[in-house]
């Protein structure tokens, strides 16, 4: 490990910032006081009368140039050839300590990874000479480039060489070229600004022509050039998976559940697929799967219905990492620019599910101002008796004259009393207190005869539940055996694919068909597993119901446990009339006392 060194940095506007000073030494002052740093060219001595520099060759390639590797190599080659010729004809010597490259980076700002590494090595004392092909490769921002070349580098003892421009701060008399350097930097700066305007105009024209100007194409598509227009075309390997994601989301109504489904199938997420070109993760490779955010990005993207929405953000010339979000009026939206992977109806159904999930999330985070919203006991069972619509809860906080606050709940039908809805012409409302009082009276009357034999109810209920559980477990085992046979069949097909005897398209077709069949089996198994849980819940709720009835007999209040266990639906009619339908009276408890 190198010993700690001290150095001084100069801020961009010429202000000094105290930090670590290199072991070559520096003293400084501010506001007119003297300072001196290591003068350019004062490298380590290597032999009598000779100076040796540790050079960093810097190369940059703009984002609009295609032949990236070759262009970077050309810049480095020119700098290396200069060093070779320099060492043959001068007493001073230059050793190349490293190469620093930025590919696809604008010269308008200096927030580049390669340049930042170069500056870090300069501060650590590993580099004391910077070589570039020409000034434009160093940067096109006049003020900032000049600040580095004329102030920061000299102060840090760094020699700067622009080969093609013949600019070298280590040569005697080079100050006479400062004016030429400033003029060239100014030209570069003007070029960068002019190019930025033209590039934005060109992008807008391409977007309006229906050309896809983004980066990598969305999952499910490939990007191809048709003349001067970049078009999206379906990727035959993944386009079917996009539709599968939409259908699964509509069915499950959960991003996480869809991600879990994709992960069980070991389908590679978009980032992994773009890199590996493998639809399914090989069995011998660690799997990095989907998360709910990657599923949500696909669900909300209008690209999949043949529409391009582009130009939502723009970059600033000074900072590539800073994005400006533009107003919706500035977006470029084009319909039917490419083949859709899903139909509009499927997309709209998915967006409706998204909207419901967003509303649920927003309601969960609603502030209650110290008076929390209680559990909605009737949320799943309360309906308008006139139009059949689910009743909506209205909850508010009332402050009484003595300062006490209480939350009051009521329920109403959104259709009730609205002139445009003829099926529910009257207002239909009921308070929670009125509803609870009415329901308690009904429960007392309905279950009075059952409370005499609670243990008998428990025994008969358990017998029925055990029979249903046995039948369900038997069917689940049958499905598991079928699924195991399918997976064994897949092993042979997979080996053919991995050894090159089967094309990827045929393997994907096989996998899609098999996946569909497995999906149906898993779906059936899921239904049965859900039924198993429901059976367990029935058992639990059945016992809860008996306990709740006994508590109710002792005068305790209505609760969610009792409603879930006994009530199927409650219909409310204008005038606070209530009709109650029970689960177990008609289906289980009624048979127990027969």
Q: Specify the pLDDT at position 314.
A: 59
Q: How confident is the model at residue 418 (pLDDT cuts 50, 70, 90)?
A: low
Percent of the chain with pLDDT over 70: 68
Percent of the chain with pLDDT over 90: 16
Residue 368 CB contacts under 8 Å (≥ 6 apart), including other chains: 397, 407
Residue with tokens 């140039």: 65
CATH number for the domain running over 6-195: 3.40.50.1390
Q: Among candidates 221, 245, 270, 220, which has minimal Cα distance to 353?
A: 245
Q: How confident is the model at residue 173 (pLDDT cuts 50, 70, 90)?
A: very low
Q: Specify the pLDDT at position 452.
A: 62
* C-beta of residue 159 within 8 angstroms of C-beta of residue 169: yes
The H or E element spanning position 118 is helix 113-123
Q: What is the mean pLDDT of residues 346-352?
A: 92
Residue 289 or 176, more confident: 289
Q: What is the DSSP letter of 39?
A: P
Q: Specify the pLDDT at position 5.
A: 40
Q: Specify the pLDDT at position 552.
A: 65
Would you call 505 helix, strand, or coil by DSSP?
Answer: helix
Chain segment 246-258, per-residue pLDDT in tens: 999 998 888 988 9
- Phi, psi of 469, rounded to the nearest 5 degrees: -65, -40
Separation between Cα atoms, residue 40 and residue 176, nearest integer Å: 16
The H or E element spanning position 411 is strand 405-412
Q: Specify the pLDDT at position 421.
A: 54
Statement: residue 586 has pLDDT above 70: no
Separation between Cα atoms, residue 436 and residue 198, nearest integer Å: 70
Q: Specify the pLDDT at position 515.
A: 81
Residue 342: how many other CB atoms lie within 10 Å:
19
Would you call 589 helix, strand, or coil by DSSP?
Answer: helix
Would you call 24 helix, strand, or coil by DSSP?
Answer: coil
Chain segment 258-276, per-residue pLDDT in tens: 998 898 889 999 989 988 8
Does CATH place domain 221-352 in 3.90.1750.20? yes
Q: For strand 229-234 and strand 221-226, is the pairing parallel, antiparallel, or unpaired?
A: antiparallel
Q: Specify the pLDDT at position 31.
A: 33
Would you call 366 helix, strand, or coil by DSSP?
Answer: coil
Q: 494: which strand partners?
A: none
The H or E element spanning position 19 is strand 16-21
Statement: residue 319 has pLDDT above 90: no
Would you call 164 helix, strand, or coil by DSSP?
Answer: coil
Chain segment 570-579, per-residue pLDDT in tens: 999 988 899 9
* C-beta of residue 435 within 8 angstroms of C-beta of residue 385: no
Q: Which of 395-399, 515-519, 586-590 has the lowest mean pLDDT?
A: 586-590
Tokens, residue 324: 């400006």
Q: Specify the pLDDT at position 16.
A: 33
Tokens, residue 354: 């998204």
CA-CA distances (angstroms) from residue 39 to 26, 49, 134, 159? 10, 16, 23, 9
User: CA dihedral in degrees (493, 499, 503, 505; nearest 10)?
Assistant: 60
The H or E element spanning position 504 is helix 504-553
- The CB-side HSE value for 174 (13 A sphere, CA atoms) comes to 18
Tokens, residue 85: 């010729």
Tokens, residue 245: 């994601």
Q: How confident is the model at residue 54 (pLDDT cuts 50, 70, 90)?
A: very high
Residue 308 or 552, more confident: 308
Statement: residue 64 has pLDDT above 60: no
Separation between Cα atoms, residue 441 and residue 444, nearest integer Å: 5
Would you call 232 helix, strand, or coil by DSSP?
Answer: strand
Separation between Cα atoms, residue 500 and residue 513, nearest integer Å: 20
Chain segment 27-48, per-residue pLDDT in tens: 333 333 333 344 444 444 444 5
Statement: residue 532 has pLDDT above 70: yes
Task: Tell me the pLDDT of the chain averaged across its residues.
Answer: 75
Residue 569 or 407, more confident: 569
* C-beta of residue 382 within 8 angstroms of C-beta of residue 411: yes
Residue 117 CB contacts under 8 Å (≥ 6 apart), including other chains: 100
329: exposed, middle or buried (Cβ count in 10 Å: 0-12, 13-18, 19+): exposed
Tokens, residue 158: 């760094």
* C-beta of residue 268 within 8 angstroms of C-beta of residue 280: yes
Q: Specify the pLDDT at position 508.
A: 83
Would you call 406 helix, strand, or coil by DSSP?
Answer: strand
DSSP string, 251-308: HH--HHHHHHHHHHTTBPPHHHHHHH--SB--TTS------HHHHHHHHT-GGGGT-E
* Degrees to nearest 5, angle at CA 522 with 517 and 526: 150
Q: What is the mean pLDDT of residues 435-442?
A: 85
Domain boundaries, the chain: 6-195, 221-352, 378-473+529-594
């Amino acid at each position: 490990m190198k010993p700690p060194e001290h150095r001084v940095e100069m801020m961009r506007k010429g202000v000094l910032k105290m930090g670590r000073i290199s072991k070559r030494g520096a003293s400084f002052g501010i506001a007119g006081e003297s300072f001196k740093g290591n003068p350019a060219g004062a490298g380590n001595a290597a032999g009598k009368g000779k100076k040796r520099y540790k050079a960093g060759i810097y190369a940059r390639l703009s984002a609009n140039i295609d032949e990236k590797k070759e262009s970077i190599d050309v810049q480095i080659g020119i700098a290396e050839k200069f060093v070779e010729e320099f060492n043959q004809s001068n007493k001073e010597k230059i050793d190349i300590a490293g190469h620093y490259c930025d590919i696809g980076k604008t010269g308008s700002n200096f927030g580049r990874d390669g340049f930042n590494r170069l500056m870090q090595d300069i501060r650590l004392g590993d580099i004391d000479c910077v070589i570039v092909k020409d000034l434009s490769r160093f940067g096109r921002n006049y003020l900032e480039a000049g600040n580095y070349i004329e102030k920061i580098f000299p102060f840090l003892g760094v020699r700067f060489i622009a080969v093609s421009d013949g600019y070298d701060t280590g040569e005697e008399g080079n100050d006479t070229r400062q004016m030429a350097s400033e003029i060239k930097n100014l030209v570069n700066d003007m070029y960068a600004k002019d190019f930025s305007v033209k590039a934005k105009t060109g992008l807008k024209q391409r977007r309006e022509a229906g050309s896809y100007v983004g980066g990598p194409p969305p999952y499910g598509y490939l990007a191809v050039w048709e003349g001067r227009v970049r078009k999206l075309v379906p990727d035959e390997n993944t386009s079917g998976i996009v539709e599968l994601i939409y259908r699964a989301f509509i069915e499950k109504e959960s991003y996480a559940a869809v991600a879990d489904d994709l992960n069980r199938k070991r389908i590679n997420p978009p980032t992994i697929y773009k890199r590996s070109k493998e639809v399914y993760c090989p069995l011998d490779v660690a799997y990095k799967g989907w998360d709910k955010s990657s599923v949500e990005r696909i669900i909300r993207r209008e690209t999949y219905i043949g529409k391009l929405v582009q130009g939502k953000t723009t970059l600033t010339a000074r900072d590539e990492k800073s994005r400006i979000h533009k107003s919706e009026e500035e977006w470029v939206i084009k319909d039917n620019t490419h083949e859709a992977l899903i139909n509009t109806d499927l997309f709209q159904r998915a967006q409706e599910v998204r909207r419901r999930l967003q509303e649920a999330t927003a309601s969960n985070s609603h502030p209650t101002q110290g008076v929390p919203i209680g559990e909605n006991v009737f949320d799943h069972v309360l309906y308008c008796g006139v139009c059949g619509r689910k009743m909506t809860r209205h909850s508010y906080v009332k402050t009484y004259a003595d300062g006490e606050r209480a939350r009051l709940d009521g329920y109403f039908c959104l259709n009730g009393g609205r002139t445009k809805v003829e099926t529910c012409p009257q207002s239909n409302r009921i308070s929670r207190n009125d509803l609870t009082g009415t329901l308690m009276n009904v429960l007392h009357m309905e279950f009075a005869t059952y409370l005499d034999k609670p243990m008998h109810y428990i025994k008969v209920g358990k017998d029925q539940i055990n029979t249903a559980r046995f039948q369900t477990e038997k069917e689940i085992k049958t499905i598991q055996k079928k699924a195991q046979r399918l997976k064994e069949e897949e092993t042979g097909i997979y080996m053919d694919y991995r050894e090159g005897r089967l094309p990827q398209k045929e393997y994907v077709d096989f996998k899609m068909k098999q996946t569909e069949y497995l999906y149906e089996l898993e779906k059936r198994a899921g239904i049965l597993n859900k039924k198993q849980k429901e059976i367990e819940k029935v058992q639990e709720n059945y016992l809860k119901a008996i306990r709740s009835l006994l508590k109710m007999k002792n005068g305790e209040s209505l609760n969610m446990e009792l409603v879930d266990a006994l009530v199927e639906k409650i219909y409310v009619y204008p005038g606070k009339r209530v009709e109650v339908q029970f689960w177990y009276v008609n289906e289980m408890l009624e048979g127990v006392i027969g």
